[in-house]
């Protein structure tokens, strides 16, 4: 018997893979509706096609270009292999539907509170006073994972605020995302269609202020908020203790440079099911697959956090060159280990930022 806490992409897709392997799986979700509230921009690179095929109702828009703005308002545009903009609520319900077809049970309004070991199994306690016995417990319960806390796996993890709203705004080209450097870690405007964009910032120190500045700059009108906390990847966080496992945001498996993790959640879901079924070491499996890229992302993010406006302006100047744009156009940004060296070879002046890496 496997109990999974949290019906986000990490929890439901792990449930799907385990059920396919013959396990009896129940997913416990605190909310009363899967995929609600939305706390995400829903952007995923085409790398997802190797991991999950979604139905077309999940797709809101396709993005073919990214335009970057430096603090001094210089910009450069990069063509990309088209990204998907998903309806995040629909995505979560779609994955849960796949799991349900394999026999997974979903229990809504079940907020996990704690567990205790009893003989060879565990007793799970929920806020609605239910007590459930389980053999395996998986924490897919997001950034503040109660499972991680109860298992002593929370460590001293850090969080960044992602402040986003759907807005009415002027959209010149709905196939282009704008990224604004100099607003917190960065700001974005992601079109849903010709009239509405998901506008937001990730910011550690002053999210409200950075968000207000961006909204004012874009003359946007807020429709509704979709904000949330994002854990910073922490390589010290252990993701397994006996029969308790962590995945997704609960395990801090988030790419720190872009703060996205849907793809990594889905990749790791299959690895976790494999580890349980084949009695393999889960930590080694996922670290081999995404560990280096998680680490590189953190290095890139920590370096960018030390940038002044002048550094960002210089970076924008370098990336305006076709030789660097072509590297970004032909690679997906989920795996910087595959192209970071190409960037440095094509533009050795990028090494001027190296002291900030240290």
User: Which of 150, 230, 275, 328 touches ligand FAD by CB under 6 A?
Assistant: 230
- Chain-centre distance of CA 345, in angstroms? 29
Q: Rule CB under 6 A: which of 262-321 touch ligand FAD?
A: 262, 265
Cα separation, 199 vs 180, in Å, equals: 11
Report the chain's C-alpha Rg in angstroms. Answer: 21
Nearer to ligand FAD (CB atom), residue 29 or residue 293 = 29
User: Which of 254, 267, 290, 328 touches ligand FAD by CB under 6 A?
Assistant: 254
Nearer to ligand FAD (CB atom), residue 122 or residue 265 = 265
Residue 179: closest CA among 84, 67, 83: 67
Nearer to ligand FAD (CB atom), residue 238 or residue 346 = 238
Phi, psi of 168 (to 5 degrees): -85, 130
Cα separation, 139 vs 245, in Å, equals: 6
User: Which of 2, 4, 10, 332 touches ligand FAD by CB under 6 A?
Assistant: 10
- Using the contact rule CB under 6 A, the part of the chain among 8-16, 52-60, 128-136, 175-183 near ligand FAD is 8-16
Rounded to the nearest whole angstrom, what is the least distance from the CB of residue 172 to ligand FAD in the complex? 21
Are the C-beta atoms of residues 228 and 42 closer than 8 Å to each other?
no
Q: Rule CB under 6 A: which of 138-177 touch ligand FAD?
A: 140-142, 146, 162, 164
Rounded to the nearest whole angstrom, what is the least distance from the CB of residue 216 to ligand FAD in the complex? 19
Cα separation, 291 vs 28, in Å, equals: 28
Rounded to the nearest whole angstrom, what is the least distance from the CB of residue 247 to ligand FAD in the complex? 7
- Using the contact rule CB under 6 A, the part of the chain among 47-55, 68-76, 259-267, 270-278 near ligand FAD is 259-267
User: Which of 87, 185, 210, 249 touches ligand FAD by CB under 6 A?
Assistant: 249
For the beta carbon of residue 357, count every other beta carbon within 10 angstroms: 11
Rounded to the nearest whole angstrom, what is the least distance from the CB of residue 2 to ligand FAD in the complex? 15
User: Which of 68, 76, 112, 183 touches ligand FAD by CB under 6 A?
Assistant: 112
Residue 227 in the binding site for ligand FAD (CB under 6 A): yes
Residue 103 in the binding site for ligand FAD (CB under 6 A): no
Residue 11 in the binding site for ligand FAD (CB under 6 A): yes
User: Which of 17, 29, 138, 210 touches ligand FAD by CB under 6 A?
Assistant: 29
Cα separation, 122 vs 127, in Å, equals: 17
Question: Please, which residues have CB within 8 angstroms of residue 189's CB and are 6 or more apart in sequence?
Answer: 169, 177, 178, 180, 197, 198, 199, 218, 220
Residue 184 in the binding site for ligand FAD (CB under 6 A): no
Cis? peptide before 37, omega within 30° of 0: yes
Rounded to the nearest whole angstrom, what is the least distance from the CB of residue 29 to ligand FAD in the complex? 5
Nearer to ligand FAD (CB atom), residue 182 or residue 248 = 248
Nearer to ligand FAD (CB atom), residue 7 or residue 256 = 7
User: Which of 2, 15, 42, 84 touches ligand FAD by CB under 6 A?
Assistant: 42
Nearer to ligand FAD (CB atom), residue 203 or residue 311 = 203
Residue 60 in the binding site for ligand FAD (CB under 6 A): no
Residues contributing to the site for ligand FAD (CB under 6 A): 5-11, 28-31, 39-44, 111-112, 140-142, 146, 162, 164, 200, 227-228, 230, 248-250, 254, 259-262, 265
């Amino acid at each position: 018997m496997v109990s999974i806490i949290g019906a986000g992409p990490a929890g439901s897709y792990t449930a799907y893979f385990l059920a396919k392997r013959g396990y009896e799986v129940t997913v416990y979700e605190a909310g009363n509706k899967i995929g609600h509230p939305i706390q995400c921009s829903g952007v995923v690179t085409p790398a997802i096609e190797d991991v999950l095929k979604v139905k077309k109702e999940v797709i809101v828009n396709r993005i073919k270009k990214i335009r970057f703005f430096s603090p001094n308002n210089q910009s450069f545009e990069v063509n990309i292999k088209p990204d998907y903009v998903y309806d995040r609520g629909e995505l979560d319900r779609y994955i849960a539907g796949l799991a349900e077809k394999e026999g997974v049970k979903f229990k809504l309004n079940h907020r996990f509170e704690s567990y205790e070991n009893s003989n060879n199994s565990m007793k799970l306690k929920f806020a609605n006073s239910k007590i459930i016995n389980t053999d395996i417990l998986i924490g897919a319960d997001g950034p503040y994972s109660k499972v991680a806390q109860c298992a002593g796996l929370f460590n001293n993890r850090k969080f960044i605020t992602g402040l986003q709203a759907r807005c009415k705004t002027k959209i010149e080209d709905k196939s282009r995302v704008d990224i604004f450097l100099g607003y917190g870690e960065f700001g974005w405007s992601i079109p849903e269609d010709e009239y509405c964009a998901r506008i937001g910032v990730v910011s550690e120190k002053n999210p409200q202020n950075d968000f207000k500045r961006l909204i004012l700059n874009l003359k946007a009108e807020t429709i509704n908020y979709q904000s949330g906390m994002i854990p910073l990847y922490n390589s010290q966080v252990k993701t397994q203790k006996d029969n308790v496992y962590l995945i997704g945001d609960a395990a801090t498996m988030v790419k720190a440079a872009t703060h996205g993790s849907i793809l990594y959640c889905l990749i790791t879901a299959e690895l976790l099911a494999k580890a349980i079924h084949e009695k393999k070491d889960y930590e080694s499996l996922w670290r081999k697959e995404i560990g280096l890229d998680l680490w590189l992302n953190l290095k890139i993010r920590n370096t960018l956090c030390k940038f002044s406006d002048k550094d960002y302006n210089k970076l924008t100047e370098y990336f305006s060159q076709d030789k660097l744009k072509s590297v970004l156009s032909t690679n997906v940004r989920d795996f910087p280990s595959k192209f970071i060296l190409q960037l440095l070879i094509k533009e050795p002046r990028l090494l001027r930022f190296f002291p900030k890496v240290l």
